[in-house]
Amino acid sequence: MSDQKVYTDFKDDMTYADYLSLDSLLSSQNRLSGHHDEMLFIVIHQVSELWMKLIIHEIQAACQSLKENQFEPAFKQLARVSKIQEQIIKAWDVLATMTPSEYIEFRDSLGKASGFQSYQYRLIEFSLGYKIPHILKIYKQDQEVFNMLEKAYHSKGLYDIAIEKLAEAGFEIPDEVLNRDFSNPYQKNTEVKAAWSEVYKDSQTYWTLYQLAEKLVDLEDWHQQWRFRHMKTVERIIGFKKGTGGSSGVNYLKSVLDSYFFPELWDLRTEL
């Protein structure tokens, strides 16, 4: 049965395609080799960049919510980040359907372009406290991107704001933690661990901070799964070859698996 009320005259109205800018979005998959599987490679990476854009949007909103002591919105935003991370992990499963024989047919077309250069991924890492000094050099040719990354590099991360919430709740947090140089990677601290341990031991009293801690653990857990799935997909397709951007490829991806954004939240689990 047809629906007689379906709107069909769009001469003066915006369409679905207009709203989503589908003309530009769907014309951005430009294969350089003409090889069939290059389309898969492009789409997977573009989809991942769109998801990362949303991750950044939600993390920035969560940071602002926490600064304003709006915990419930922050929890919603961080929970959404974890769900997005799950989607990106699934994307690697699709890319893994491409074999080494298929990838080498168009790999040279990438030149020195590499996912290692994703500035959005760097923004995510910076917001979570993982900062490497030399990485900014990659982006110097684009001043707007460089300025954005440099600002994030010197700014507080999500965990720094969470630690401030501990201090505001009355826990003794050292000044060198609260007012540290935020361009340096976070180093775990015994007083911070003691504060989080107290939160976990008396979760009913500190229920809001307890929920915040678990949201952070969720986020890091999913991020580590993302890293691992990325590493195994790359190993499956190119083995231990160097990345197109000059990185060590799988060896680099393996090296970051043991790094933690929120170390005290993991360490305290052994001691509880």
| Binding-site residue positions for heme | 230
Contacts with 181 (C-beta within 8 Å, 6 or more apart), sequence order = none
- Tokens 């890492």 sit at which residue? 125
| Binding-site residue positions | 41-45, 103, 107, 230, 244
Q: Is the separation of the CB atoms in 40 and 95 below 8 Å?
A: yes
The length of the chain is: 272
**Where does the chain have alpha helices with state H?**
16-19, 22-25, 38-67, 71-95, 100-103, 119-127, 143-153, 158-168, 175-178, 190-201, 207-238, 250-255, 263-271
In angstroms, the CA 216 to CA 261 distance is 9
Tokens standing for 122?
A: 């760097």
| Binding-site residue positions for substrate | 41-45, 103, 107, 244
- Tokens 């168009």 sit at which residue? 106
Tokens standing for 174?
A: 């050292």
Q: Is the separation of the CB atoms in 238 and 103 below 8 Å?
A: yes
Q: Is the separation of the CB atoms in 152 and 60 below 8 Å?
A: no
Tokens standing for 139?
A: 């982006």
